[in-house]
Amino acid sequence: MACGGLQLGLGFCKPKPGEAKPKPPASGPSRASQITSHALWYPEPHESGEPQIGDAGFVHEGAFIRLFNLDTSTSEKEVKFWEPPFEIIEPLPRGVLKIDRRQRPLVPDQYCSHGVESRQMTAGANVTATLTAKYTCKVAQGAILELKSDAVAETLFENQALEKYIVRNHDIWYGYATDTLGH
């Protein structure tokens, strides 16, 4: 998000001093374009846990930090890092997290974001094979993703019940993140 504030796989932004409180996030294609291709400097999971579908969190110094997860159907998604933990008052409606899983959408390789170009590749072989690449970033920001194994994509199908749930609960989530935790 352009504001760099809190995100909920669904999203919030923290206003700057003097600004009005943000509105619930847009949905659909316009929302997707706001959050896709957001490079993380530290893509490794934070102590708060590996990102899961249903997470609310924020990006801090290049890492995604989980605040809570809306899916209470499994304890594996629960975030135990924060005190006090977030208490879900209105449960997520049954069946709204319809996940579209795709095996091997990307094969092991190096992938560049818009504006990043590979300048030179050299391969060397002795006992082990080595491959090096040099990149040029021709825009203000760019990223390179290096996959060492096959990827699995998990996305949510658009869902009006989920969108309405987000709008109803956005202020509560925003209050927890900003007032309770101070983020």
Looking at residue 121, its pLDDT comes to 61
Measured distance CA(37)–CA(29) in Å, rounded: 14
Q: Is the pTM of this model over 0.75?
A: no
Which domain, by its residues, includes 11?
6-94+158-180
Same domain, 75 and 163: yes
Residuewise pLDDT in 10s, the chain (183 residues): 333 344 444 333 444 455 555 444 444 433 444 555 566 677 788 999 888 889 998 888 888 899 999 998 888 899 999 999 999 889 898 889 998 988 877 888 888 888 888 775 656 555 565 556 788 888 888 888 888 888 888 888 888 999 999 999 999 999 999 999 988
Measured distance CA(64)–CA(42) in Å, rounded: 8
Same domain, 90 and 122: no
Same domain, 88 and 143: no
100 belongs to a structural domain: no
Measured distance CA(92)–CA(180) in Å, rounded: 21
Instruction: Name the token pair of 154.
Output: 């998990």
